[in-house]
Chains A and B, each alone.
Chain A
Amino acid sequence: AQKVTQAQTEISVVEKEDVTLDCVYETRDTTYYLFWYKQPPSGELVFLIRRNSFDEQNEISGRYSWNFQKSTSSFNFTITASQVVDSAVYFCALSEANAGNMLTFGGGTRLMVKP
C-alpha cells in the first residue's frame, strides 16, 4: 500500500525567508513517481515536478528545489526567498507503476507567506 505523509499542516513565514516542506512516502514498488503540486486559492492544481524512483538527483528550478532521498523515503521541497505569491497549499503525491499510476496525495501543507 502506498502512503504519503506531510507532517506540516501549516507553515507561516515572512517574505524572503527560505522554507522547506517535508514529504515522506511509503511504497513497496521499485518503480514509482513522486510529485509536488501547488494549489492556490483558486483551487486549480499546478504541477511543479515529477521524479521517478530511479533518479535521485536533486533538482533546482528558479527559487524551487527538491531533495529526493530514497534512504529516508523523503522528497522535500524548498522555496528560497519566499514571496507572497507562494502562499498556497502544497501537495506531495506518489504513484506506483504497478498500481496503474494512481496518485496518492499527502495531506497537504498550507504555506502562508506574509509581507
Chain B
Amino acid sequence: GAVVSQHPSWVICKSGTSVKIECRSLDFQATTMFWYRQFPKQSLMLMATSNEGSKATYEQGVEKDKFLINHASLTLSTLTVTSAHPEDSSFYICSAQRSGRRETQYFGPGTRLLVL
C-alpha cells in the first residue's frame, strides 16, 4: 500500500508556458503533501507544504505566485509552474503523508521538467 503517482513523468515546454503537475495518493488519504525540487547532482529541497483545503506553506525563497499549489482533495495535489523559464528546469517530486500517520512520507516517482 501507500502508492503515490505523479503525472506527467516528463514535460518539455517552451519558455513562458505554464505546466501543471499532479500528485495523487492512490490507496490512502493524504491530509498533507509536500513538493520538492531537485537540481542535477543536488539534494531534494522542500518547496512547499500542501494541506488539504487550505493554502500551501512555502519555504523561504520559493515564489508562491510562480509555483501555484492546490490541494483540493485528500488524494490530489497539483503544482503549477507559471510562465516557466529555463531556470525552472528541474526534477519535481511530491510526497504524501497518510492521514493520522505523519511520521512517514511516501514519494511519487517524480516529474522531469525541461523548459526550452
Contacts and interface: CB of A to CB of B under 8 A. Distances in A.
B43 A102 contact: no
Contacts of A91: 43-44
Interface residues of B, number: 22
A115 interface: no
Interface in A98-115: 100-108, 110
Interface in A42-62: 42-45, 47, 50, 52
A64 interface: no
Contact residues of B: prevailing secondary structure: strand
B110 A44 contact: yes
B93 interface: yes
A102 B43 CA distance: 15
B112 A47 contact: no
Nearest to B2: A47
Contacts of B34: 102-103
A106 B103 contact: no
Given A43-B91, A45-B93, A108-B43, A103 B105 contact: yes
Interface in B88-116: 91, 93, 95, 97, 102-107, 109-110, 112
Interface of B: 32, 34, 41-46, 49, 91, 93, 95, 97, 102-107, 109-110, 112
Interface of A: 33, 37, 42-45, 47, 50, 52, 91, 95, 97, 100-108, 110
